[in-house]
Amino acid sequence: MSLFSLNKGTYVVNKQEFASRLKEITGFRTSNIRLYEAAFIHRSASFTLPDGKRINNERLEFLGDAILDAILSDYLFEKFPEASEGAMTKIRSRIVNREILNQLAVSIGIDKILVSHVNTNYPTRNLYGNALEALIGAMFVDKGFKKTKKLFIKRVFNKYLDLEKIVDNDSDYKSLVFEWTQKTKANLSFEYKEEYDSVLRKSVFSATLLIDKKVYGTGQGDSKKEAEQEAAGKAWSIIKNFNHSKL
């Protein structure tokens, strides 16, 4: 039997298998299985209860996003007692980057447990990072902040994240590209496209980065900012290779 199966529009969960998978990820068992089930049901796989309540992980993701920021702020404040507010903000921003969160989610096995019906061109890598935030939200509701922070740092952060590499790596690609165009007196611009995804029931943005009217990179995301950053990352790779070839 699969972990989740659909019966009359509602997901039926193999509770024993789900509890086992959840323990592998979090390190604990819980009596509040329903809460965690919701954390792994993506918006595209939503279902509606007889009372009209729609079940998916969006509310838990919203909560988990805020809790993750608080966890990282608390951790970085203790870890780097001499760091400025600006420096800690920059490090935190790099950690909560969608690509990093997705990698962490896959590392702990969220991709094996998440339910979604996404079959479009939507950048699906975001689904796993969002589900990680939903899991953090569920853990906060179930266990409180202190326990959630301890478990996240121990089972996710310390095991799968290279903090030193993140601290040393400046991955604000948009700023890097902007600085390069300023130095070279090139013209930087973006072109945007917004499409409504009927499966996700939300808008998906795409951005095309142009330098002197030539396309250097394209990106997609839940927001213009996210799409810009992906496009800038591709553009920066081209710029770096171009600079190296001139050496």
Give per-residue pLDDT as tens, 99-139.
899 999 999 999 988 988 765 445 555 889 999 999 999 99
Two tokens at 92? Answer: 């935190």
Q: Which residue has the higher pLDDT, 32 or 48?
A: 32
Domains along the chain with CATH numbers: 4-168 (1.10.1520.10), 173-245 (3.30.160.20)
- Structure tokens, 53: 């309540």
pLDDT for position 247? 33
- The residue assigned the tokens 């199966």 is 5
Q: List, for residues 204-243, the tens digit of each pLDDT value.
A: 899 999 999 999 999 988 888 889 988 998 999 899 887 6
Residue 121 is predicted with a pLDDT of 47
Residue 147: is its pLDDT beyond 90?
yes
Tokens matching residue 47: 């279902």
Rg of the chain (C-alpha set): 20
At 53, the amino acid letter reads: K
pLDDT-derived band at 74 (thresholds 50, 70, 90) equals very high
Please say whether the beta carbons of 111 and 130 come within 8 A: no
Burial class (CB in 10 A: 0-12, 13-18, 19+), 110: buried
pLDDT digits (tens, 9 = 90+) for 148-169: 999 999 999 999 998 888 877 6
Q: What is the pLDDT of residues 172-203, one digit of tens each?
A: 788 889 999 999 999 999 999 998 877 667 78
| pLDDT, position 155 | 94
Q: How far apart are the first and last CA of the chain?
A: 59
Positions marked active-site = 65, 133
Bigger pLDDT: 190 vs 47: 190
Per residue in 48-62, pLDDT (tens digit) is 776 777 889 999 999
* Rounded (5°) CA angle 193-58-35: 160
- pTM of the predicted protein model: 0.70
Sign of CA dihedral 46, 47, 51, 57: negative
Contact in structure between 44 and 117 (CB atoms under 8 Å): yes
